[in-house]
């Protein structure tokens, strides 16, 4: 067999080490003008003071709500498309994937048009006489969750779609033939067998939501600060390197924690069944 | 455990699916309708019809110069990521490499670390500690986050290519280099094309890295637009967004016609 020489790896390896791995580690142990001790002292402080805990809690909370929303909306889309025999199914799948190519800024700006004080939803509510004044929609948790759901739903759809597509439709028919209702077939056959796809979706959506900057910045404003907006402020506005590095560490750990837990959870499930 | 014995799964699923599509698509449609409005602020319903905001967007020097810089950055980062990523992928798939899974993990690692964190690391270490310009830091950062795409997407098409074909070429007397360029590379073409397209779009749209590594002299379009939205409330930004949407539709059509949408994105999640 013709073996490819290992030196083909070298440029990439050097690049990843110098341009990514080493700076990332150095950020934690040697931020400019600050000691490693300062970073970890600040980390300890953040994990105890109410202000930072509030930010961490909001990031975790809104991240989890967004993840749940994306699974609840994304799985049905994936399931219906994967099982569809319509010739338009491909077109609908493309429409679900297309937003991934479009700038996050453009997609998020749409919510300002919809939710702003002069926006369509506020106008609709006052127009219908449901309220005398348009309610505050922008700069709320709802706005942030909607914005992040829009951004990350396509990821959930793709991951669920490839999982559902791998489940033999014959199994659906078998369960139905044995008298299970369509709902029961979905819950006891298709969903458990698509668990790996749900794990991938959870990991991707949570990682995106917990680290998203555009959404909390544009739709959350100063009342919905999250780890991402804090990190930017520490790094580029107040230039507080110890806090910036500590925030980066918390953010990374949060993403690892949720992705680890979700794959553990699904492993437990598949052992049980 | 008693399950509700109904056959009403479809309406529930259908409703959730419709809601999902509304959340994904409707805000984009509102951006487009705002771009043609004669109103001076972003408001609903749009008033009248005008193309003036498109003129304002195209005539805005900040937008146009950052558009140029974004395109430049995306192009160069894509080329570098492929130039170092494709050979590495070939070596990983076809070579004998000690600690192969570790090496593979290292190449994919920029995908695991949040991009803002990569941005912070490069800002601190490359710009502040080493005193390099932000364009260098941006190029390094963008290339680093594109490498996993280059490795994964070309890797997926390399896994499909039968090594025996290349060996047959060697057996028929082709030099290793010739066998590579005339046999393996053409087999990889769809993978490389997908990786290039995905990389270019990813870099062009990137916010986290470009945000942390911004500078007055070099700032990408998404960051410029973020700033503009925060300070202005007129439809210029809607017009700029609509232009980007139109360009994205063109890219999507090219992707669909050449390798197929689902294939390109299927590569990410494997």
pLDDT in tens, B126-180: 999 999 999 999 999 999 999 998 888 888 888 877 778 878 888 888 887 888 7
Q: Are B28 and A110 in contact (CB under 8 A)?
A: yes
**CB-CB under 8 Å, A8 with B90:** yes
**Per-residue model confidence (pLDDT) at position B56:** 94
What ipTM does this complex have? 0.92
pLDDT in tens, A173-193: 899 889 888 888 888 889 999
**CB-CB under 8 Å, A232 with B212:** yes
Please tell me which residue, B268 or B109, carries the higher pLDDT value.
B109
**CB-CB under 8 Å, A20 with B265:** no
Q: Which domains does chain B have, with CATH numbers?
A: 57-220+250-266 (1.10.3720.10)
Q: Which domains does chain A have, with CATH numbers?
A: 39-272 (1.10.3720.10)
Q: Per the structure block, which two tokens stand in for B86?
A: 């494709």
**CB-CB under 8 Å, A6 with B94:** no
Evaluate if residue B211 carries a pLDDT over 90. Answer: yes
**CB-CB under 8 Å, B44 with A9:** no
Nearest to B205 among A104, A111, A244 (CB): A104
Mutate to test the interface with B, among A1, A2, A240 (most CBs of B within 10 A): A2
pLDDT in tens, B87-129: 899 888 887 778 888 888 899 888 889 999 999 999 999 999 9
Q: Which residue of B has its CA nearest to A76?
A: B13
CA dihedral A1, B259, B254, B154 (to 10 degrees): -40
Mutate to test the interface with A, among B83, B99, B114, B173 (most CBs of A within 10 A): B114
Give the distance from residue A197's alpha carbon to the nearest chain B alpha carbon, in angstroms.
9
**CB-CB under 8 Å, B252 with A114:** no
> Chain A residues with CB inside 8 Å of B45's CB?
120, 123
**CB-CB under 8 Å, A11 with B266:** no
Q: Per the structure block, which two tokens stand in for A219?
A: 């739709």
**Per-residue model confidence (pLDDT) at position B268:** 39
Helix or strand holding residue B192 (H, E): helix B185-205
What lies within 8 Å, CB to CB, of B182 at 6+ separation is: B169, B174
- Nearest C-alpha neighbor of A150 from the set A82, A232, A208: A208
> Chain B residues with CB inside 8 Å of A94's CB?
252, 256, 261-262
Q: Are A201 and B20 in contact (CB under 8 A)?
A: no
Q: Are B150 and B199 in contact (CB under 8 A)?
A: yes
**Chain A with chain B: Cβ pairs closer than 8 A:** 314
Please give the full DSSP string across B20-82, using - where no structure is assigned: HHHHHHHHHHHHHHHHT---SSS-SSPPS--SHHHHHHHT-HHHHHHHHHHHHHHHHHHHHHH
**Measured between alpha carbons, how far is residue A163 from residues A125, A158, B29 in Å?**
40, 9, 30
Evaluate if residue A138 carries a pLDDT over 60. Answer: yes
**CB-CB under 8 Å, A3 with B13:** no
Other CB atoms within 10 A of residue B218 CB: 21
A3 confidence band (pLDDT: 50, 70, 90): low
Percent of chain A with pLDDT over 90: 65
> Chain B residues with CB inside 8 Å of A2's CB?
94, 163, 166-167, 170, 176, 179
Please tell me which residue, A33 or B270, carries the higher pLDDT value.
A33
Lowest mean pLDDT among A200-209, B51-60, B77-86, B250-259: B250-259
Q: Per the structure block, which two tokens stand in for B72?
A: 């430049």
Distance in Å from the first CA to the final CA of chain B: 35
For A94-109, give the secondary structure using H, E and C.
HHHHHHHHCCHHHHHH
Q: Which residue of B has its CA nearest to A183?
A: B9
Report d(CA B71, CA B56) in Å as an integer: 20
Burial class from Cβ neighbours inside 10 Å (0-12, 13-18, 19+) for residue A148 reads: buried
- Nearest C-alpha neighbor of B197 from the set A22, A71, A214, A97: A97
Q: Which residue of B has its CA nearest to A176?
A: B7
What lies within 8 Å, CB to CB, of B240 at 6+ separation is: B57, B60, B63, B225
pLDDT in tens, B28-71: 999 999 999 888 777 777 778 899 999 999 999 999 999 999 99
**CB-CB under 8 Å, A103 with B244:** yes
Give the distance from residue B142's alpha carbon to the nearest chain A alpha carbon, in angstroms.
10
Nearest to A9 among B97, B116, B251 (CB): B97
**Per-residue model confidence (pLDDT) at position A216:** 95
- Nearest C-alpha neighbor of A158 from the set A127, A203, A221: A203
Please give the full DSSP string across A43-68, using - where no structure is assigned: HHHHTTSHHHHHHHHHHHHHHHHHHH
Nearest to B23 among A90, A116, A149 (CB): A149
ω before A61 within 30° of 0 (cis)? no
Q: What angle do CA A82, A63, A29 make, to 5 degrees?
A: 120
- Nearest C-alpha neighbor of B184 from the set B157, B217, B202, B205: B157
**CB-CB under 8 Å, A109 with B87:** no
> Chain B residues with CB inside 8 Å of A23's CB?
121-122, 124-126
Q: Per the structure block, which two tokens stand in for A77?
A: 């889309």
A4 confidence band (pLDDT: 50, 70, 90): low
Q: Which residue of B has its CA nearest to A201?
A: B269
**CB-CB under 8 Å, A101 with B201:** yes
């Amino acid at each position: 067999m013709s073996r490819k020489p290992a030196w083909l790896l070298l440029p990439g390896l050097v690049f990843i080490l110098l341009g990514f791995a080493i700076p990332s580690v150095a950020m934690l142990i040697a931020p400019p003008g600050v000691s490693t001790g300062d970073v970890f002292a600040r980390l300890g402080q953040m994990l105890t003071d109410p202000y930072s805990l509030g930010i961490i809690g909001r990031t975790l909370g809104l991240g989890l709500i967004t993840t749940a929303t994306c699974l609840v909306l994304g799985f049905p889309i994936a399931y219906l498309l994967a099982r569809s025999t319509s010739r338009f199914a491909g077109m609908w799948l493309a429409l679900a994937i297309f937003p991934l190519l479009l700038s996050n800024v453009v997609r998020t700006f749409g919510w300002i048009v919809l939710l702003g004080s002069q926006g369509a939803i506020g106008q609709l509510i006052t127009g219908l006489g449901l309220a005398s004044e348009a309610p505050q929609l922008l700069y709320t948790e709802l706005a942030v969750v909607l914005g992040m759901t829009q951004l990350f739903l396509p990821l959930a759809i793709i991951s669920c779609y490839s999982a559902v597509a791998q489940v033999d439709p014959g199994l659906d028919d078998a369960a139905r033939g044995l008298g299970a209702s369509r709902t029961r077939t979905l819950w006891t056959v298709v969903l458990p067998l698509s668990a790996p796809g749900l794990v991938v979706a959870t990991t991707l959506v949570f990682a995106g939501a917990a680290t998203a900057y555009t959404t909390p910045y544009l739709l959350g404003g100063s009342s919905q600060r999250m780890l991402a907006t804090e990190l930017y402020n520490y790094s580029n506005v107040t230039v507080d390197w110890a806090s910036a590095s500590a925030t980066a560490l918390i953010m990374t750990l949060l993403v690892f924690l949720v992705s680890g837990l979700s794959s553990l959870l699904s492993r437990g499930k598949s052992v049980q069944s | 455990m008693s399950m509700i014995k109904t056959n009403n799964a479809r309406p529930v699923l259908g409703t959730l699916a419709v809601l999902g599509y509304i959340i994904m698509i409707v805000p984009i449609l509102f951006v487009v309708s705002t771009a043609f409005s004669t109103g001076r602020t972003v408001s609903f319903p749009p008033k009248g019809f005008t193309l003036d905001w498109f003129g304002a967007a195209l005539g805005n020097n900040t937008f146009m110069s950052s558009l140029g810089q974004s395109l430049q950055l995306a192009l160069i980062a894509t080329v570098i990521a492929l130039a170092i990523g494709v050979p590495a992928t070939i070596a990983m798939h076809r070579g004998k490499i000690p600690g192969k899974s570790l090496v593979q993990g290292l190449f994919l690692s920029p995908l695991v670390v949040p991009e803002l964190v990569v941005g912070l690391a490069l800002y601190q270490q490359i710009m502040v500690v080493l005193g390099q310009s932000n364009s260098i830091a941006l190029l390094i950062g963008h290339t680093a986050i594109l490498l996993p795409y280059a490795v994964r997407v070309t890797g997926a098409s390399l896994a499909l290519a039968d090594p025996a074909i290349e060996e047959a070429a060697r057996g028929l007397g082709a030099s290793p280099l010739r066998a590579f360029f005339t046999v393996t590379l053409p087999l990889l073409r769809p993978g490389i094309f997908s990786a290039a397209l995905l990389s270019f779009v990813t870099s062009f749209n990137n916010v986290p890295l470009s945000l942390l590594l911004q500078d007055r002299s070099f700032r990408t379009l998404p960051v410029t637009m973020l700033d503009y939205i925060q300070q202005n409330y007129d439809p210029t930004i809607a017009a700029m967004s609509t232009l980007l949407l139109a360009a994205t539709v063109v890219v999507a059509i090219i992707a669909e016609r050449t390798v197929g949408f689902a294939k390109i994105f299927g590569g990410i999640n494997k």
